[in-house]
Chain A
Amino acid sequence: MKIIINLDVMLAKRKMKLQDLAAAVGITPQNLCILKTGKAKAIRFSTLASICKHLQCQPGDILEFCSRAKK
């Protein structure tokens, strides 16, 4: 079971750079990269809300639940 982060997909859809989103949200590009690559263990509601606000999307567009275990 895993939560998949589709942040790269949304960034591509909105034609937005990771650095620009990081600056808009107010977090470091390194932290956003951790989130994008799926290494993050948790995300604050405030960060999620800010990302959704700037990408004009819903949390479900960024987070996806996958029941199949991936290696």
Chain B
Amino acid sequence: MNTSLQKIKNVSRFGSSIATTLLVAMPFFYIAKWIFIDHSIIKQLSGLGICFAIKGPTAFVKPWMISWTPGLKLFGLGADLIGHLPVWMGLLVLKLIFKNYSEGNIFTATNARCYQYLAGIFLLNAIVFKPIFDTMMVLVATLHNPPGQRILSIAFTVTNIQDILWGGVVIIIAWVMSEASKLQEEQQLTI
């Protein structure tokens, strides 16, 4: 029993440090990406298999095919940060869950609430952030086009439905966690 708990604590500490690293690294990565989006290094990295393509209205647009202006870069950075805000929030919640696990608090009401937040983030991403992100990215990809060829599209695709389904699954997990915390409390208060 103690060995299992110790294993959970160790793995959670590792998970927490990964989440912290990603939380700090993510904004810097996106800022660096948009600073060097018109640099040849992006083309070289794309050659290595790292995808920097921007989702256009019909297909992915390669960054070196767009004539970048500082304003357009800033707009792209804003879009990327808004689009990835749910991921950042999700990592924050995961860090909190891992922190609780590393302290030995497994089936607690706090963890159940964290899972509920995670489900909310999934749903918020599917309904709000993803459509905004896609719309802004299409704008970024077509804003350099001459007037009349710029596109503004709002889409609700299979990936949005996928995220809603994931949100639903996490809601069920949150409910199970909540019930488990009640059961554990009852067990703890049985003399």
List residues of chain A with CB under 8 Å of any chain B CB.
27, 31-32, 34-35, 39-44, 47
* Minimal beta-carbon separation of B107 from chain A (angstroms): 15
Give the chain B neighbours of A32 by CB distance below 8 A.
191
Give chain B's interface residues, CB within 8 Å of chain A: 185-186, 189-191
List, in ascending order, chain A residues with CB within 8 A of B185's CB.
41
What is the distance, in angstroms, from A26's C-beta to the closest C-beta of chain B? 11
Which residues of A sit under 8 angstroms from B190, Cβ to Cβ?
40-44
Residues of A within 8 A of B189 (CB): 34, 39-42
Q: What's the Cα separation between A42 and B186 when bound, in Å?
A: 8
Q: Which residues of A contact B191 (CB under 8 A)?
A: 27, 31-32, 34-35, 40, 42-44, 47
Kindly state the separation between the CA atoms of A41 and B186 in the bound complex, as whole angstroms: 6
Complex-state Cα separation, A41 to B187, whole angstroms: 8
Residues of B within 8 A of A47 (CB): 191
Of all chain A residues, the one with the shortest Cβ separation from B189 is A41
Q: How far is the CA of A32 from the CA of B189 in the complex (A)?
A: 10
Q: What is the chain B residue whose CB lies nearest that of A48?
A: B191
Bound state CA distance, A40 and B189, in angstroms? 5
Contacts of A41 in B (CB 8 A): 185-186, 189-190
Which of A31, A32, A41, A47 is packed against the most chain B CB atoms within 10 Å? A41
Complex CA–CA separation, A34 to B191 (angstroms): 8
Query: Taking CB as reference atom, which chain B residue is nearest A27?
Result: B191
Residue on B nearest A32 in the bound complex, by CB: B191
Determine the distance from Cα of A35 to Cα of B189 in the docked complex, in whole angstroms: 8
7 extra interchain contacts, Cβ-Cβ under 8 A, other than A31-B191, A41-B189? A34-B189, A34-B191, A41-B190, A42-B186, A42-B189, A43-B190, A44-B191
Q: List 15 contacting pairs A-B, 8 Å CB cutoff, sorted by A.
A: A32-B191, A34-B189, A35-B191, A39-B189, A40-B190, A40-B191, A41-B185, A41-B189, A41-B190, A42-B186, A42-B189, A42-B191, A43-B191, A44-B190, A47-B191
Residues of B within 8 A of A27 (CB): 191
**Most chain A CB neighbours (cut-off 10 Å) among B185, B186, B190, B191:** B191
Taken together as a complex, chains A and B put the C-alpha atoms of A42 and B189 apart, in Å, by 7
Complex CA distance for A41 and B185, rounded to whole angstroms: 9
Q: How far is the CA of A31 from the CA of B189 in the complex (A)?
A: 8
* C-alpha gap A43/B190 in the complex (Å): 5
Name A28's closest neighbour in chain B (CB-CB).
B191
